[in-house]
Structure 1
Amino acid sequence: MNNISLLHQALNASSLRQQVISNNISNAETPGYKAKQVVFEDILKKHLTNQSKFVGIRSDSKHLVIGNSADIPTANIVENTNSVIQNNKNNVDIDEEMTRMGKNSLWYYTLTEQINSEFQQLSIAIKGRS
């Protein structure tokens, strides 16, 4: 699993999270609407801790796979059905959603800076420092 693929999937999750947060905010007054969240970091953490450090190289398709696959998990959208905040059975907390939006924006910025750094390092490796 390389860093660029991992960062790419994290950027996708952050983008999806932004869409879900925006949807929650736009439905803050919709009767019966249940807030949704994007789960990615916990899934990724669990995947990485279960990831085997040893992976065998297959020189033939008939060989057995040794070690875990390097597939990066994708983000999931989960609905919060356990709580009710408003009388209309809606559970969107606008303050919480705005906080999540700010946190997600900072996270997205950090990921883009990191992926830019990865590409810069690749560029230096290919062309040399100039």
Structure 2
Amino acid sequence: MDLFGGTIRNLENGLSYATLKNKTIANNIANVDTPNYKAKDVSFKSMLENAKLSTITANKNDIRHYDFDAEQFQSGVFDYANLRARHNGNGVNMDAEQAKLAENTIYYNALIDRVNGKLNTLNTVIKGGK
């Protein structure tokens, strides 16, 4: 039984995406002066496709074994191999990275607010509306 109809799971997937994107942006900013470093980004589409398609199931050879499904997660991080923004071969555009970071922070905070709303609703139900 899924208590929230999959809402919490979907929000969790969104938070995983936002966290990975934040780490990728931070890595790009940290390597802004590294020669020949290529900027990286996260593809939401590839993460979504991987989440749908990559489930591993166990083969049981005894009736006493438990059924389980394990999800295989691939990051969806890619780099811009042919991007060269500066003379030293570095492909990081600091202004673009800061804009992506601000946008991702807003997205992450919106997801956190939604999770909090769901959990507050559950808390209200548990307390009997008080």
What is the TM-score of this pair, normalised by structure 2?
A: 0.72
State percent identity of aligned pairs.
Answer: 28
Q: 1:43 deviation in Å?
A: 4.0
- Cα distance change of structure 1 residues 75 and 3 upon mapping to structure 2, 3 Å threshold: farther
The reply to whether residue 42 of structure 1 matches residue 41 of structure 2 is no
- Cα distance change of structure 1 residues 96 and 78 upon mapping to structure 2, 3 Å threshold: same
Is contact 1:9–1:74 with CA below 8 Å preserved after alignment? no
Q: 1:45 deviation in Å?
A: 6.3
- Cα distance change of structure 1 residues 20 and 93 upon mapping to structure 2, 3 Å threshold: same
Distance 2:48 2:29 in 1: 28
Q: 1:75 deviation in Å?
A: 4.5
- Cα distance change of structure 1 residues 82 and 98 upon mapping to structure 2, 3 Å threshold: same
Q: Which runs of 5+ in 2 are unaligned?
A: 52-70
Specify the code of the residue in structure 1 equivalent to 2:124: I
Alignment of 1:1-130 (within 5 A): 2-39=6-43, 41-43=44-46, 75-130=75-130
- Structure with bigger RCO (C-alpha 8 Å, 6+ apart): 1
Distance 2:75 2:117 in 1: 24
Distance 1:23 1:95 in 2: 14
Is contact 1:31–1:89 with CA below 8 Å preserved after alignment? yes
Specify the code of the residue in structure 1 equivalent to 2:95: D
- In the TM superposition, what whole-angstrom CA distance separates every residue of 1:61-81 from its partner, at most 9, and x where no partner exists? xxxxxxxxxx7x764111111
RMSD of aligned residue pairs (Cα, Å): 2.6
Is contact 2:50–2:74 with CA below 8 Å preserved after alignment? no
Q: Which runs of 5+ in 1 are unaligned?
A: 49-70
Is contact 2:47–2:76 with CA below 8 Å preserved after alignment? no
